[in-house]
Amino acid sequence: MGLSVDVLNQLNAHGNDVLRHNLQYLYESLTVLDRKADALMAFDGLLVAASAFAVEKGGVVPTNRWLRPGVICIIVLALVAAASCLLVTRVSYDFLDNAKVENGILQLGNELESLIAVLKTRTRVYQFGWWLSLLAVVLSTAIAVSMFFIRRGPEGAR
C-alpha cells in the first residue's frame, strides 16, 4: 500500500496523539539500535585491526602454538559480530507501509505490529553480536595477560 497523503493527514489529525507517540517511540527505538550497532561495528573493526597487528608485528603470536589460533578466533568472532550488526543497520522497512485509512479512520495496528516485530528481531541480532564481541574481548584479555607468562627461548622467541 505504501505511504499516502491520506495516511499522513490522518496521522497528523487531532486525536491521533497516542498513535503518533507510539510510532515515534518505535522508530526512535530502531534509531537507537542502529546507532548502537554502528558503534559496535566500529569497535569490532578495532578488535580486528589490533588482532591483525598482533599476528603480523607482535613477535609473540606468530611463534606460539596456542596464541596464533586464539588471535585468529578473535578476528573471526569480531567479523561475525560486525556482520550481525550489518543486519541491524540495514534499511529495509517502508515507512508506514502497513498503515491505511478505512472509512476516514486511521488504521495503524498492522504497522505497529510490523514495527514491533522488526524491533524485536533486530534487538536479538544486536545482542548476538554484542555477546560475540564480549567473547572476543575476554579472549583478547586472556591472550594479552598470558603473553607475560610465556617464557622466552634462547633465540628470543616465546
Q: Which of 10, 15, 21, 18 is nearest to 105 (CA)?
A: 10
Round to whole Å and give the CA distance between 22 and 95: 14
> Who has greater pLDDT, 56 or 41?
41
Round to whole Å and give the CA distance between 50 and 93: 35
Tell the burial category of 99 from Cβ atoms under 10 Å away from its Cβ (0-12, 13-18, 19+). Answer: buried
Q: What is the pTM of this model?
A: 0.79
Query: Length of the chain, please?
Result: 158
The yes-or-no verdict on residue 62 having pLDDT over 70 is no
Which DSSP helix (H) or strand (E) runs through 105?
A: strand 105-107
Instruction: Check residue 158 and give its pLDDT.
Output: 44
Task: Give, as one character, the DSSP assignment of residue 151.
Answer: P
Nearest-5° Cα angle at 44, 93 to 91: 10
Mean of the pLDDT values across residues 16-38? 89
Instruction: Check residue 50 and give its pLDDT.
Output: 87
How does residue 120 score in pLDDT terms, banded at 50, 70 and 90? Answer: very high
What mean pLDDT is reported for the chain? 82
